[in-house]
Structure 1
């Protein structure tokens, strides 16, 4: 039965940890979805639970809502990361239809996403709380996701989203930019471990972005070019500007992942 509870962040953390441990003791995995939302009541919780259970009858769904921090927690016994991601799409659609969603959904699966410790679950919960007011995107949480950060600069929304999802599934922290100036501003502010950039960018093109990054931080500013532009002269120009590697579209995600690992040492 879905219930409305009022607990502190620490109490919610411990309750989620207990649910995860019980679930993983019964099955191989446990999926968790965190969604910042307001005005949840028992009836709405039951509706959301019924919808998610109907969507995948193989999962045992438990929903918990905390009124104080306004975060909905969904625990899916038997949920793999892929299955939990799919369930989060269903939950997101329901919450948006009811005008309840207030930020980004956070998705994880244990032990697939890492070891469920108290500190990891607390960080997971804090990410959901801090996402309030942001666009209603879905982000993956990995216990090691702070190890390597990647910035994707590409004007194509679909390309950015595809790479972001694949890399977040591997445990990377991913930032996005749709033009060269935005990408440079994000780089200066957050100093990601790696930048993946298209050459054909608005405002600052890829060559200008690479040179700007190298001027700012020549040691840490590792850049992989990912572009439709396959001319040998453009490849040479990219390397002369300071690019560390070059990948052409159509994208081979396996090749890109290997190059990221090689440059960041994230093996």
Structure 2
């Protein structure tokens, strides 16, 4: 855990399911991350430049703009291509994972996920520069 007052990084948590969104946010916040949330891919893209997170956790199946498209736009945006992206989704087929890697996501976790694994993945990504 982070020391008192120490912030490990900023995370933008994107999921249309409020329970999942809050579960992720609370776990990361308790670990010492500054957390901002968004309700779908469009909300993420609308807020990302103001937030400038180190890591985005992104659900795949969302209304308005799905996680695939959101991740692609983050990867192709000049100001956002450096942001680490973690897909967190119930879509666990090899084709889904391959699509994520082709887009250039940094990690892929399937639901249900282990909160400790999520925290470790986000911690590792926030601590390493994108290269």
User: Taking structure 2 as the reference length, what is the TM-score of the superposition?
Assistant: 0.89
Name the counterpart of 2:109: 247
Identify which of 162, 187, 203 aligns with 2:64. 203
Runs of 4+ in 1 over 4 A off after TM superposition: none
Q: Deviations over 1:167-193 (max 9, x none)?
A: 111110001111110011111221100
Name the counterpart of 1:168: 29
Structure 1 unaligned spans of 5+: 1-111, 115-142
Kindly report which structure 2 residues correspond to 1:111-260, keeping only aligned pairs within 5 A, or say none: 114=4, 143-145=5-7, 147-216=8-77, 217-218=80-81, 220-260=82-122
Asked if 1 retains the 8 angstrom alpha-carbon contact of 2:27 and 2:119, the reply is no
Q: Deviations over 1:144-178 (max 9, x none)?
A: 23x40001110110011111111111110001111
Q: Give, in angstroms, the shift of residue 247 of structure 1.
A: 0.3
RMSD: 1.5
Q: Give, in angstroms, the shift of residue 113 of structure 1.
A: 5.8
Q: For the residues of structure 1 that align with 2:126 and 2:17, how far apart are their CA atoms? A: 25
User: Taking structure 1 as the reference length, what is the TM-score of the superposition?
Assistant: 0.45
Q: Which has the larger radius of gyration?
A: 1
- More relative contact order in 1 or in 2 (CA 8 Å, sep 6+)? 2
Asked if 1 retains the 8 angstrom alpha-carbon contact of 2:84 and 2:106, the reply is yes
Q: For the residues of structure 2 that align with 1:249 and 1:194, how far apart are their CA atoms? A: 18
Q: For the residues of structure 2 that align with 1:162 and 1:261, how far apart are their CA atoms? A: 16
Q: For the residues of structure 2 that align with 1:262 and 1:190, how far apart are their CA atoms? A: 20
Structure 2 unaligned spans of 5+: none
